[in-house]
Amino acid sequence: MKAQQFLLDAEKKAFDREHRRKIRFNIGKYDVAVSVGLNHYANHELARSRGAYLKATVLEKLDEYLLQFEAQFTARGGRVIWARDADEALAEIGKLVRARNTRTVVKAKSMTTEEIHLNKYLQKQGIESVETDLGEYIVQLNGERPYHIVTPAMHLSKADINDIFVKHLGTESTDDAQKLVLTARHLLRDKYTSAEVGVTGANFIIAQEGAIAVTENEGNARLSAAFPKLHIAIVGIEKVIPQLTDLDLFWPLLSTSGTGQQVTVYNTLYFGPRQATETDGPEEMVVVLLDNGRTNLLAQPDKREALRCIRCGACLNVCPVYKNIGGHTYETTYSGPIGSVITPHLSGLPEHKHLSYASSLCGACTSVCPVRINLHNLLLLNRQQSVREGHAPLEERAAIGVWRWSMQHRWALDVLPAGLKDWSMARLLGQVGWSKRRAALAIAPQSFRQLWRQRAQ
């Protein structure tokens, strides 16, 4: 059971002091940078409200905006593929790479490719898929999934990265961060020029102009898109914004909330393949519009606001649960509060309902979301849906049923002896893990009703 494994992994990570030290150190640096970055806004709350409004407006007419994007993009020679799920997306990508006898794919950082497990699929096809983002490259070498939406290798220290390079690349041991970066850079340079296909995601789909926008800090996405003859962009259908000028709102919101930057280092717009008057760029460009459960959320008016997410990672950085149990514990593509909200709808509620309970409901995630997603309320709605659909364990349902009946029939509690009450309370609290690291609760020998009657007499 995924829920049981989650509890075991969470406990292990929560008591791993070295892991907590690394995460608090790395997230602490982001916290400082974000605090400074927010000072550049004259009215950050107004920007959040505008971002939330625009994204909400798009979701109400998502089909129209996506068709508008397709019409504009294909008019310049691009191609759009609509994929209902991961299997359809992988099948179409497989056709594209086989048509070019692809041996090597260079891949920029993309959560949608992680979502459909593209690297594993290409490996089975005998194709080398190389992550070109430094953090993604490191975790790929180490056989891990990304730890964080924005910072894939957040859980690793400089010494850890050195050990990975020594083990997998045979490099000399060093504590010089610049040497480590240069090692990766030199190894990746030849991959860009030899790869037949480049793969990216997209941070935004621009409907009116028919373009995609890619945000990054290393320039690897530009190289992955520019050198290969075929550029494939795999994008979730919710990434739409109405028009190009909206980027002046969303680019700073994304960068400031995620890393504290006024704007990221590289922000690139792709309008299609190389045109007749252009000297560089891919011969062919394909955008794969991925559903993969997103319309499940879209069909639920009370939960669809989760699709406003721009993947800044701010909710992960403030979440006390995430900071204690780490990103890998979730065993999903999207971790932290936003992952706990959307994963049950993208990948199945019965298997992932436990994620919505992995929250203190403190509301910190909601307070920092740049597009005002009411995350902690959505977690509650997921829990409600889980119970309503009968996914709660039988023992839990029985315990809650007994508790509810006893609250509606107070006389029954007065009749029961204190020892039996204590046993019942211990069983109930044990279901939610209360008693594991806390002293047992003892119920008073006399109930409040009995004490009140004595006082009245």
User: How high is the pLDDT of residue 363?
Assistant: 96
Give the residue extent of every domain in the chain.
1-39+309-392, 42-292, 398-456
Q: Per this entry, what is the length of the chain?
A: 457
Distances (CA, A) of 444 to 404, 413, 421: 20, 12, 9
pLDDT tens digits, residue range 254-263?
Answer: 999 999 999 9
User: How high is the pLDDT of residue 198?
Assistant: 97
User: How high is the pLDDT of residue 409?
Assistant: 84
Share of the chain above pLDDT 70, in %: 98
185, pLDDT greater than 80: yes
Amino acid present at 109? K
User: How high is the pLDDT of residue 400?
Assistant: 81
SS3 state of residue 355:
helix
Rounded (10°) angle between helices 418-431 and 394-408: 140
Query: What CA–CA distance (Å, rounded) separates 256 from 370?
Result: 9
Distances (CA, A) of 117 to 102, 110, 154: 18, 11, 21
Provide the b/e sequence for 108-121 (b: ≥16 CB within 10 Å).
Answer: bbbbbbbbbebbeb
Amino acid present at 284? E
- Helices in 105-200 by DSSP H: which ranges? 111-115, 118-124, 134-141, 158-169, 177-194
432, pLDDT greater than 70: no
pLDDT tens digits, residue range 41-53?
Answer: 999 999 999 999 9
pLDDT tens digits, residue range 120-144?
Answer: 999 999 999 999 999 999 999 999 9
Task: Let me know if domain 42-292 sits in CATH 3.40.50.10420.
Answer: yes
pLDDT tens digits, residue range 333-374?
Answer: 999 999 999 999 999 999 999 999 999 999 999 999 999 999
User: Is the separation of the CB atoms in 321 and 18 below 8 Å?
Assistant: no
385, pLDDT greater than 90: yes
User: How high is the pLDDT of residue 411?
Assistant: 77
235, pLDDT greater than 70: yes
